[in-house]
Amino acid sequence: MRVVISAFCFFVISFSTCLADYGQSKDWFYSLDRGQRIRIQHLLVFTGDYRTVVDGDFGQNTYNALTSFQKHRDYPQTGVLSNDQMQILLRDGLDLANRVGFKYLNDAAAGISLGVPVKLFDPPSPAERGTRWRAFDGSIELETLMVPAEETGYQDLFKRLAKQRSGRVIDYKVQRNDFFVISGEQDGRSFFLRIMKTPVDSRGFSLSWETKHTVFMDRVAVAMSNSLDQYDGTADQQLGAAPTSPPTGSGALGKGDRIN
């Protein structure tokens, strides 16, 4: 009986500690301003600990990301980052972002602004539906695109791109009223596709890479997904010009597919 009671008490104490840590983490997170919270989530994307929507809100995914970051660096898993831990997060998150040259660009051809890992690519070239970037060896490819609604509607576009077919395996797909994401593998390459809906068209990007790049490209793909936004094409902006402020993000999980 004592063993049972002891085990029960241990469970209750452990569970209460977990709840307390979650609550403390939430209180700490919301003590920061929204810009700081969004920045933390973006950095956690680049460290590989956060793989969903960057929105500055706290939930189980954010808590898990914070404790995952701490676990991988042998810190107590409290979900509350000390000043020193914040500096490590900044260092480690920016390390990958800087190595790939992650830069916010405006693409008038596709009507989007997007974070692009420019150091991975040769100079961009025009594509049928937007702009194309390609690594010098072809191992990583990016294409932006805009599909008019009268040509292919948003729903039909999702259904077509989400179909399994020979050489193509879908491992993740999600559709919302304003965007969809599809990821998987095609012909031995990983892919990630994110498309958003506008009143007149569907626009977004497709990204594919050889599996040897998966360790960092999974993170880059999620970061790009969270950076996607519409671009109004004002005269004082052009491809390569950074937006006036980083997008708040509305990303998703997963990996893209080119539309031919």
- Residues 134, 80: Cα–Cα separation, whole Å: 40
258 — pLDDT class (breaks 50, 70, 90): very low
Please state the domain extents for the chain. 2-96, 101-230
| Token code pair at residue 69 | 């970051």
Nearest to 115 by CA among 224, 40, 193, 204: 224
Higher pLDDT, 258 or 174: 174
- Residues 33, 169: Cα–Cα separation, whole Å: 41
Lowest pLDDT segment from 115-124, 141-150, 231-240: 231-240
pLDDT reported for residue 233? 77
Higher pLDDT, 60 or 9: 60
CA 247 to chain centre: 12
Q: Which CATH class is domain 101-230?
A: alpha beta
SS3 content of the chain, % helix, strand, coil (to 5): 40, 25, 35
Lowest pLDDT segment from 80-84, 114-118, 223-227, 253-257: 253-257
Lowest pLDDT segment from 44-48, 76-80, 145-149, 252-256: 252-256
- Residues 60, 65: Cα–Cα separation, whole Å: 8
Average pLDDT, the chain: 86
| Token code pair at residue 200 | 């007149």
Higher pLDDT, 18 or 201: 201
C-alpha distance from residue 166 to each of 160, 169, 220 (Å):
14, 8, 27
